Amino acid sequence: MKNIFLYLLLILSITVSPQEKPTLYLIGDSTMSDKKDRDKNPEHGWGQMLPELMTSEINIENHAVNGRSTRSFISEDRWKEVKINLKPGDFVFIQFGHNDQKIKDSSRYTNPFTQYRANLEKFVKESREKGATPILMSSIVRRNFNEEGVLVDTHGEYPLVTRMVAEYLEVPFIDMQLMTEQLEIAYGPEDSRNLHLHLEPGEDSYEPDGRHDDTHLSEKGATIVASLALQEIARENLELKKYIKPKVLEENLFQK
């Protein structure tokens, strides 16, 4: 009788013990990465804003790094580090393309239809092998308006290939290219400067010489882009939806 009682206690303790929280891993480039000196640095990656927009019921590990392509992320063993730690129930945001197109850099460049595609498929398949859920994302657009006020694409075939991989492997896909294109156009050629880094000399102590950068994001821009991604996840009714703070889903992000 005593042994049966102890056995029941053991089963009960296992049943009621808290489950380990899932982790959301981010792999990508500078548009997503955490920035050093966050309190002073005017540049923000949209991934670094996620902890403020999601609940404490999920851990967030941002492994995105400035300047990385799918090729260099793998060759530097950055993907290996993430893969080793993946567990069932985790999620992986995958967003590359900015640096894969660096055709003059053999350590980063990938042909979009061959090696870039193969690398994306590798991330997806190996995430699934570990029981994690991969989520593919197209690149965010650059603020690149021509003289007529038309936003001109700079990423070529890379977003298209990301869509192709998502469809082929039946992976959740978040069209960051479309959403950020709509965002830049809604703000227009002038006001969209506030989404990026347009600083005059002496305006910011962290950038004393000034900086005009239409690729990377300001704190405002990064917060809006991160919120757009989460709103789309909610619209797609992905499992990750339950970890998004309700206030994020209520915001009108295209209002200046």
Q: How much is the mean pLDDT over the chain?
A: 92
Q: Which of 146, 136, 212 is nearest to 184 (CA)?
A: 146
pLDDT over 90 (residue 14) = no
Residue 25 lies in a domain: yes
Residue 3 lies in a domain: no
Residue 139: give the domain boundaries.
21-250
CATH of the domain at 90: 3.40.50.1110
Residue 246 lies in a domain: yes
Residue 227 lies in a domain: yes
Residue 142 lies in a domain: yes
Residue 14 lies in a domain: no
Residue 4 lies in a domain: no
Q: How many domains does the chain have?
A: 1
Residue 55 lies in a domain: yes
pLDDT-derived band of residue 9, with 50, 70 and 90 as boundaries?
A: very low
Q: Tell me: the pLDDT tens digits for 162-177?
A: 999 999 999 999 999 9
pLDDT for position 22: 97
* Secondary structure of 37-65 in HEC code, one letter for each residue: CCCCCCCECHHHHHHHHECCCCEEEECCC
Q: Cα separations (Å) of 161 from 61, 112, 231?
A: 26, 7, 23
